Structure 1
Amino acid sequence: MTEVSAGYETVTIPPGQVTLSDRRTQRRWPVELAPYRLAAFPVTQAWYAHVTGLRPSSAPPGDRLPVEGVSWWDAVRFCNALSEREGLTPAYRFRTDEEGVEWDASADGYRLPTEAEWEHACRAGTTGARYGPLDEIAWHRGNSDERTHDVGGRPPNAWGLYDMLGNVWEWCWDLYDPEVYGTYRVLRGGGWFDERWSCRASVRRRSHPTLRIDDVGFRVARSL
């Protein structure tokens, strides 16, 4: 079921199980998921500006271009600001210690997806590396002209989600590997400058939560 919230589509994602894997450590672990809602598109420049008043992207202005140049911190603050605009309970509480933020799982507001939620939604019931032929479903280094493209310009997956692979990497809630990388957070999906290998449902990337780069954006989720 698709729902339009503040002019933006979110899709109900069914419950299920996904098995995450890490190429560096060769570790695999299953995760059970309850249903949740996920935005059909990455957050665009226009939506980000509407909520925050800012246009941080390094790409030329384009209302339907995915916002990029946003840190993980920018993304979680956007989620709280969007929740407050819609009269929902913000999902995040900010602290002063090193980790800095808590997720209130009981809140009905917007949040980042977990990486398990992201991969489950990306796969949309498929089991291969991608939910379709890469050149048809994603903007990557081989076809992007080394730039972002309007969201929704490629066919969606079976659950109606666009740009899950390519265009921009997407921040997830999770810490990547706190014992080795500290506060680094997970990125998923591959981007416009990535080779084909990186644009797969299972690929994990990490980045410091303060980093802002031109191939990283995000999409929002909500708990049910």
Structure 2
Amino acid sequence: MVDIRPGRVELSDRRTERRWPVEVAAYRIAAMPVTRQQYAAVTGSGGGGEAEGALPVDSVSWDDAVRFCNRLSEQEGLESVYRWVGEDVSIGPGDGYRLPTEAEWEYACRAGTEGPRYGELDEIAWYRGNSAERVHAVGGKRPNGWGLYDMLGNVWEWCWDVYDPAVYGEYRVLRGGGWFDEHWSCRASVRRRSHPTLRLDDVGFRVARSGLGAGSGE
């Protein structure tokens, strides 16, 4: 986990041409997406062999991701963040793991940069132009300035936020682009959406926690 200091980020939506600033409080975010090996260790599902275990977990729904966060929190003796009332999920004051908000994700991805990406795409991301149309092990490309790997490319990542409830209902935000996407989808500002129950082969996630730990991130 990498400590991220408070800051401000401007989000944007190309579809609506809307822009909105967000103040981001201190938080921690995983340096890499959750791997198949990590996911299997927490959930008890099959993780594949050693090489496959280093791949980012994919084909997980938003619902799967938030349940993973609670289970990981419980295993580490932390207070779970998510609460269920029927099928509705809310976020509570626990100190455990959670999905990053959309603003936290973009703020971390940019790592103080202002352009569409934090480096040359081929150096930082697996995308259609260099992936051979398959997912790759995490951490194989150069990290951003805050030590975060695979923020762009490889797999899209679930965020906590609802995309646009007035138009798309429960659909949740995805960020980062994936191994099958063209270069224009692998940008810090690009937003995608999916229903929280869908499992897609180019979608995974990384975890976050509120507040700062003992790390040395910026």
Q: Does 1:25 align with 2:25?
A: no
Q: Does 1:62 align with 2:52?
A: yes
2:158 & 2:172 partners in 1: Cα distance? 7
Which residue number in structure 2 is paired with residue 5 of structure 1? none
Structure 1's unaligned 5+ residue stretches are 1-9
Give the secondary structure class of the aligned counterpart of 1:111.
coil
Which residue number in structure 2 is paired with residue 116 of structure 1? 103
Describe how 1:205-224 pairs up with structure 2 within 5 A: 205-224=192-211
Report the TM-score, using the length of structure 2 for normalisation: 0.94
Residue 56 of structure 1 deviates from its aligned partner by 7.7
Residue 55 of structure 1 deviates from its aligned partner by 3.7
* Residues 8-49 of structure 1, C-alpha deviations (whole Å, 9 max, x = no match): xx0001110000000010000000011100000000000000
Q: Kindly, what percent of the aligned residue pairs are identical?
A: 72
Give the secondary structure class of the aligned counterpart of 1:136.
helix
Which residue number in structure 2 is paired with residue 166 of structure 1? 153
Describe how 1:1-224 pairs up with structure 2 within 5 A: 10-55=1-46, 62-97=52-87, 100-104=88-92, 106-224=93-211
Q: What RMSD in Å do the two structures reach over aligned CA positions?
A: 1.5
Compare relative contact order (CA 8 Å, sep 6+) and give the higher one, 1 or 2.
Answer: 2
* Residues 97-141 of structure 1, C-alpha deviations (whole Å, 9 max, x = no match): 5xx10001x210000000000000000000000000001100000
Which residue number in structure 1 is paired with residue 215 of structure 2? none
Give the secondary structure class of the aligned counterpart of 1:62.
helix
Residue 95 of structure 1 deviates from its aligned partner by 1.4
2:78 & 2:45 partners in 1: Cα distance? 22
Report the TM-score, using the length of structure 1 for normalisation: 0.92
Give the secondary structure class of the aligned counterpart of 1:194.
coil
Judged with a 3 Å threshold, the aligned counterparts in structure 2 of structure 1 residues 206 and 55 are, in CA distance, closer, same or farther, namely farther
Look up the equivalent residue of 2:58 and give its one-letter code: E
Residue 61 of structure 1 deviates from its aligned partner by 6.5
Structure 2's unaligned 5+ residue stretches are 212-218
1:73 & 1:54 partners in 2: Cα distance? 16
Moved over 6 A (4+): none
1:128 & 1:218 partners in 2: Cα distance? 23
Give the secondary structure class of the aligned counterpart of 1:118.
helix
- Matched-pair contact (CA < 8 Å) for 1:56–1:68: no
2:206 & 2:46 partners in 1: Cα distance? 16
Which residue number in structure 1 is paired with residue 216 of structure 2? none
- Aligned pair count reads 211
2:66 & 2:58 partners in 1: Cα distance? 14
